[in-house]
Structure 1
C-alpha cells in the first residue's frame, strides 16, 4: 500500500576541492578506489537552482556571530537561534545571536521585496567578511541555513567557501510519511526524523495515525480508541498512543523547522482498531477482535449507519483542532470490504466533514475512482505494474484540477527492500535500490498528467516489519535524500551520475549525526 516552479540556473562548480575523511575504508567503493573529493558547491544536496564559487571564503570560528537584523522580528530571531543550535552541534562554538547587521558573521536578512525568491527560496552569499542569507520569508531563511550547514566543515571550524547560491524549490510539497500505527513509536523518535528531514528541505511530515493494528492518538469523545485500540501492534507488542499534548508538541516542534504535519485517519477501511474499540461502529453491533497481522482490506466501518458519521465528524473535528496546517488525510485506500457505491457515498460525506472543519482533503488515489471533492488532493501510490484503470482515474482527476502528490511504491516507498540482503522491509512492489528510488522525474512520471497538477512528492515509510529506530533509519536513509532532491531541485539537475557523488559526500555528515544508513554498493561513499 501504499510534486514554486523554477527555471534551472547554470550550476557552476568552481572552487577548491575539499578533502573528505574516508569513513568506511577502501572498500567504500567497488574495487577499493576512493572517489575524488568534490568542490564544496558541488556537494550540495538537494542540488540548488544556481551556485557559483568565487572570491575569498569566510573563516567560521570562535568569533562567529549570527546577526538577525534590528527590527526583523521574533520569528527571524528564532530562525537564528535554531541555526546557532544546529551549527554548535558540529562545532562546539558559542555562536551568539545578536541584533544588527553591522559587522562580520552570519547575517540573516529578511527582504519582503525579493519576490523572485518565492515562499521558500533564499540567496546565500559568502565573502571574507561573512555569510549573508537573504529571503522573502523566515521559511526561506531557514532553508538557506540548511544549505549553510553543508558548507560548514562537518566537525569544527574552517572556511566557508566564497560564492553565491540562489535557490528555490521546484515543487511546493516535499514530504515524508511515518506509520506509527503498525508499530508504535514515541514522539521523540518522530522529532528526530523531523530534524533529519528538515536539513534536506523536506517541508511536510505525513503521520499515519490509525490502522487495523492500532489507534495512536487520544480522542476525547471516543476515549477507547486510544486506550483499547492503541494497546497492540503487529506481532502482538504492547503498542501505545500519543496524548493530545504530545501530538501538539510534535506539531509545534515541526513548525519551528518549517515542517507541516499532515495527520491521517484512515477510513472507511483499515479501521479494525476502531471497530475493536466500539461495537457500534460495526453493522452487526459486535466488537471485533484486536488484530496483530499484516494483511489488508478486510475491515470497514458501517457506512450505512448515522452513528458512523457522528464518529467521523467528532474524530476529524478533534484532529483538525489540533492541527494548524491546511491538510487532513482521510486514507480511502484498500477498502475492499466496502462495496463501490457505498465507498463513494461514504467518501462524499467524509470529505464534506473535512471541509466543514476548515481543512483540505488529502486521500490515497482510490478516491479518484469515486467522487473527489473540489480541490481534494490525490496521493498516488501505484507502481509500474499497477492497474491501468487506477492510473487513468488519477490522470483524469489531475486534468480536472486535482493536485497530485506522487508516492509511486516502486520508487518512493521506503519500506521496500533495497535488495535480497535487506533484512527488514517488504517486496510486493519489487526491490527499490538507491538508484531506482532516485531515477524518475515527478514532472512526467504519470503519463498524461500535466506537470502543473503535481503538488509534490512524498516518501512513505510503512512499519509492518519495522519496530526499532535502527531499522527505520536504515530503510529511510539514504533513499529519502533522493526524494528530497526530486522535490526541490530543477528538473535539469536530476542526474544519477552527479547525484551519487553528492550523496557519497553526505556520508560523513550522516555518520556525525549517528544516522544508520544503507551503504549502497553503487555509491562511492567518502
Structure 2
C-alpha cells in the first residue's frame, strides 16, 4: 500500500491521543461523517481489540452491487478481504482470522446482506449503499443492502473504533446516503498525477464514503487570444493524458512519461473500485481543446485555437476516433465529454454534443455527461434529454 494512504491511517490513529471517547449526541454518533446511532439503554461498550475474526456470510460471498456506475463491482468476499487488511494495517492485531461461514461466531465482525431492504436515496430510488451496523457484547454485525453497503459500514466501524479509542458504544446504526453520486473532480489535464496517487486518492475518498472520482484527462492553460499569437497558442502548455500506441491517435499525446497507459488506467480503476469508488473519465471538447488543435491545427477555431471548429468536416470524425480508441478502457457506465465554455456557434455546439452522445451510446453503451456552463435560454435547449448536464 502506498505511502499516502498509510500516512493518512497513521494520522487517524493519533486520534486515540486527542479524543477521549465517542460522543453520542441525541441519536447520532460523532464519526467521519456523523452517522445515526441508537445507543443501548443499558449503556456499555464493546472493546474492539476483542475481535478474533472477520466472517463473510457464505450465502452472499459472490454477491455484487450492479446498481452503481462501475462495471467492475466488487464481491462481498473481496470487500471483506480488504476490510480485514485495513484492520491489520491500522491496529496490527495478532491472531485475527478471515473466514466464510453461515453464521457469526463470538467476537467477530460478521458481514452479511439484507435482501429485502427498504432504504432509499433522497430522490426515492432504492439505496443499495445503505447498511445497518449493530454492536453487542458478543461482537459486531454489518448488514448491507448490497456488498457496497457493507463496505461503507466497515468505514463507519473503523471511524467508531478510532474515535472511541477502541471502546465502541453498544447500540445500532442505520445509515442511508442521501445522494447516489458523492465525490470530487481532479484536473489531471493541467497537472499530471501518477496512477499511484489516483489510487491513493480513491482510498482517501472511500474513507469518507465518497463514491465518484471525476477524472479530467485533457486540457490546456488559458489561451489569451488578446495577447498570444498563433504560434504562442500552438506552443502553450496543453496535455492529453491517455497514451495509446494506436496509429489512429499517433501524435495526439507526445508525453508518455506524463500519461496513463491502458495498464495504468486499468490498475487505478480496479484499485478505486476495490474501495467503492468509480472513476468517471472526461475527454474535453469542443472547448479546452488545445491538445487536439496542437495535434491537428486545421481543426482550431480561427478566433481561439483552444476551441474546435465544429463546422470543419474532420472535427467530429477526429473526436469519434479519439473516443473509439479509448472507450474500451473505461469500466464505467458513464463518461464525460466536456462541452465546457464553448463560445462558437450555438447550432454547431448542439450538433456536436448530440452527435458525440449518440456515437458513444452506440459504440460504448455508455451514458454521457457534459458541463452546464451556459445560462438557461432557448438556444441551448436542443441538447438531447438523455445527456446529463453537470452544473458547477
TM-score for both structures, normalised by structure 1? 0.58
Cross-structure match for 1:52: 38
- Equivalents in 2 of 1:131, 1:102: separation in Å? 9
Rounded Cα–Cα distance in structure 1 between residues aligned with 2:296 and 2:270: 31
Are 1:99 and 2:114 matched, yes or no?
no
Partners in 2 of 1:102 and 1:262 — Cα distance? 37
Find out whether 1:80 has 2:88 as its counterpart. no
Q: What is the distance in 2 between the residues matched to 1:362 and 1:71? A: 37
Q: Quick one: distance in 1 between partners of 2:21 and 2:105?
A: 33
CA contact (8 A) 1:90 1:154 kept: no
* In the alignment, structure 1 residue 251 sits paired with structure 2 residue 269: yes
Answering whether residue 384 of structure 2 is matched by residue 373 of structure 1, we say yes
**Partner SS state of residue 141, structure 2:** strand
Pick one of 232, 248, 251 that aligns with 1:224: 251
- Partner of 1:352 in structure 2? 358
Asked whether the equivalents of residues 216 and 242 of structure 1 are also in contact (C-alpha less than 8 Å), the reply is yes
How many angstroms apart in 1 are the aligned matches of 2:312 and 2:391?
Answer: 29
Could you tell me which residue of structure 2 aligns to residue 139 of structure 1?
Answer: 148
1:329-478 matches, cutoff 5 A: 329-336=336-343, 338-356=344-362, 357-366=364-373, 369=380, 371-381=382-392
User: 2:8: which partner in 1?
Assistant: none
- Per-residue CA deviation, residues 87-107 of structure 1 (Å, 9 max, x unaligned), is 222201143211122312100
Going from structure 1 to structure 2, the CA distance change for 1:280 and 1:245 (only over 3 Å counts) comes to farther
Q: How far is 1:340 from its partner?
A: 2.5
Gaps of 5+ in 1: 1-18, 24-35, 232-238, 285-296, 382-526
Compute the displacement of 1:154 (Å). Answer: 6.0
User: For 2:182, which of 174, 184, 187 is the aligned residue?
Assistant: 174
The structure with more strand, counted as a fraction of residues: 2
Alignment: residue pair count: 327
Which residue number corresponds to residue 202 of structure 1?
210
C-alpha RMSD of matched pairs (Å): 2.4
Tell me the CA shift for residue 159 of structure 1: 2.1
CA distance in 2, matches of 1:327, 1:88: 35
Change (3 A) 1:176 1:79: same
| Residues 51 and 109 in structure 2, CA contact (< 8 A), matched pair in contact too | no
State the alpha-carbon separation in 1 of the partners of residues 214 and 172 from structure 2: 33
Report how far residue 142 of structure 1 moved: 0.5
Matches within 5 A, 1:29-68: 39=23, 42-48=29-35, 50-54=36-40, 55-61=43-49, 63-68=51-56
Conserved 8 A contact 2:111-2:142: yes
Contact 2:338 2:371 in 1 (8 A): yes
The answer to whether the 8 Å contact 2:301/2:307 transfers is no
Is residue 37–residue 171 contact of structure 2 (8 Å, CA) maintained in 1?
yes
Q: Residues 465-504 of structure 1 correspond to what in structure 2 (within 5 A)?
A: none
* CA drift at 1:46: 2.4
- The offset of 1:56, in angstroms, is 3.4
Deviation >4 Å, runs of 4+: none
| Cα distance, 1:163 vs structure 2 | 1.0
**Which stretches in structure 2 are left out of the alignment for 5+ residues?**
1-14, 63-74, 121-126, 221-237
CA contact (8 A) 1:283 1:305 kept: no
Matches within 5 A, 1:233-312: 240-282=258-300, 299-312=306-319
Once the two structures are TM-superposed, the CA of residue 280 in structure 1 deviates from its matched residue by 4.8
Q: Secondary structure at the match of 1:99?
A: strand
1:324 CA drift (Å):
2.2
Cα deviation for residue 198 of structure 1 reads: 0.6
CA gap 1:109/1:37 in 2 versus in 1, 3 angstroms: closer
Partners of 2:22 and 2:301 lie apart in 1 by: 63
d(CA) in 2 for partners of 1:266 and 1:346? 12
Q: Distance in 2 between matches of 1:262 and 1:37?
A: 38
Secondary structure of 2:322's counterpart equals helix
TM-score (norm 2): 0.77
Alpha-carbon deviation of 1:249? 1.1
Q: How far apart are the structure 1 equivalents of 2:315 and 2:308?
A: 7
Kept in 2, the 8 Å contact 1:83–1:145? The answer is: yes
1:211 corresponds in structure 2 to 219
Q: What is the distance in 2 between the residues matched to 1:371 and 1:351?
A: 13
Give the CA deviation at 1:302. 2.6
* 1:274-299 CA-partner distances (Å, limit 9, x unpaired): 21123453478xxxxxxxxxxxx751
